[in-house]
Copies of this chain bind each other. A is one copy, B any other.
């Protein structure tokens, strides 16, 4: 096996502990140091991972020669500054989603990584689940026929965030899945939102993503739902499926269902369409932790120099969609083109 990748982690809040555990236990990585400003959280890190030193100085990570890569699990607003400094210090970067809080900042990071020959990886974890991998393979193999639409609900009673709207917090997951499984670039978005009377950020939002052809995607996210839903409908001309991430066993159900159109316009007038439904198949998926697979992939990219499946280019594309969506939301749903 090749040399372990030395990782420094900054941010030990909500998601940081999961990254820490995975970088510490993955055979391809070594967790060298944890940087966290809060003394209480540093203590928590020390209890959970006795052998790993902690610090409140980010400079230390930048200057530590055992550290090959820096993982950034801090609030979105700080991603750019920390990733930028990491790359300038010659460290690969593993950045929490979304990559940055503006497309300009995201693009700058992508360019810096490219010119430095460093890996810029964004933690779009869902891409590394066996369910999303299955979807990508099915769709790219043409099993669904021509894609008709994608409709996702990701709602729950969630912590309101003061600095970003719910699209940046939740829809980013659906957008990463959508992008990964279709490998297509949207041309425009329309978004609307609902504001809780005591919050200045939209806490529920409804996003439609348009493409050059008939295909379109819709994403419904909320922090104000009494129930938790994680469900995506994907329909094609040959087959249709449901991906429900809350299901333990039957996460994906593929229906041999579709719409048949009459051959001639004449029949069309009278008969309209008929639909067919056949058997349903729920494929067996592997049960591996997505983050473990992602860390392995990241270490391979660092070793080989190959770009990550969720590299900065993808991460910046998603930030451009989120940015356009927020503009649309501020304009009552007016369609906003996606800049390339």
Contacts and interface: CB of A to CB of B under 8 A. Distances in A.
Interface of A: 50-51, 146, 148-149, 151, 153, 155, 157-162, 188, 190, 192-199, 204, 206, 208, 210, 213-216, 218, 220, 222-227, 233, 235, 237, 240-242, 249-250, 253, 255-257, 259, 261, 268-269, 272-275, 277-284, 328, 331-335
A250 B149 contact: no
Nearest to A195: B214
B272 A278 contact: no
Q: Quickly give the copy total for this chain.
A: 4
Contacts of A216: 192-194, 204
The interface residues of chain A, by DSSP majority, are classed as strand
Given A194-B148, A259-B157, A224 B220 contact: no
A282 B254 CA distance: 10
* 10 pairs of A and B residues whose beta carbons are closest in the complex: A190-B333, A332-B335, A226-B240, A192-B208, A226-B255, A333-B333, A280-B282, A149-B194, A194-B216, A160-B273
B157 A275 contact: yes
Contact of A190 (B162, B190, B215): B190
Nearest to A333: B190
A218 B199 CA distance: 19
A188 B32 CA distance: 55
A226 B220 contact: no
Given A206-B218, A226-B235, 13 more contacts: A146-B197, A155-B233, A190-B332, A190-B333, A190-B334, A193-B216, A197-B237, A199-B273, A206-B206, A225-B235, A278-B284, A282-B282, A331-B335
A197 B224 contact: no
A257 B335 contact: no
Most B CB contacts (10 A, CB to CB) among A149, A153, A237 go to A149
A229 B281 CA distance: 19
Nearest to A156: B275
Contacts of A195: 214
A283 B275 contact: no
Given A197-B146, A257-B157, A218 B240 contact: no
Nearest to A48: B25
